[in-house]
Structure 1
């Protein structure tokens, strides 16, 4: 699904490529239509808003999946590119 959304763009691995605000988390009821094309059955869906792409990817070798808390150093690097964003 990601490939269809970003066709023609270079995929950066192990990098921070943007930020978004987490506004909700839910799981769709069985036998219902998914809330978005990104939703997967039997998985909690994160609802994001205010997504902003970074101009330059920030390498992040830790390779964490799922939710995690960014370090102060990483937040500082993001804010250099998006000075209007506040944590």
Structure 2
């Protein structure tokens, strides 16, 4: 798990953890929220002045493999710019 300024992102196998007795209180809170990561792929700055509710165009990430692919594409684009 990792904490970010605009939210908490948890990458895991949901079915594995939602049955864990020790994590039940935490998962009950987490499962009240959307369970897919929504990214604004046009926003590449590490800091933004936009209001949280102004999401812009979002892309719903389907899983860890897709997240890794997005990361690699952004990393390559940044490396080419330098």
Report the TM range for the smaller structure's normalisation: under 0.3
Tell which has more relative contact order, 1 or 2 (C-alpha 8 A, sep 6+).
Answer: 1
TM-score under structure 1 length normalisation: 0.25
Greater strand fraction, Structure 1 or Structure 2? 1
TM-score under structure 2 length normalisation: 0.26
Greater helix fraction, Structure 1 or Structure 2? 2
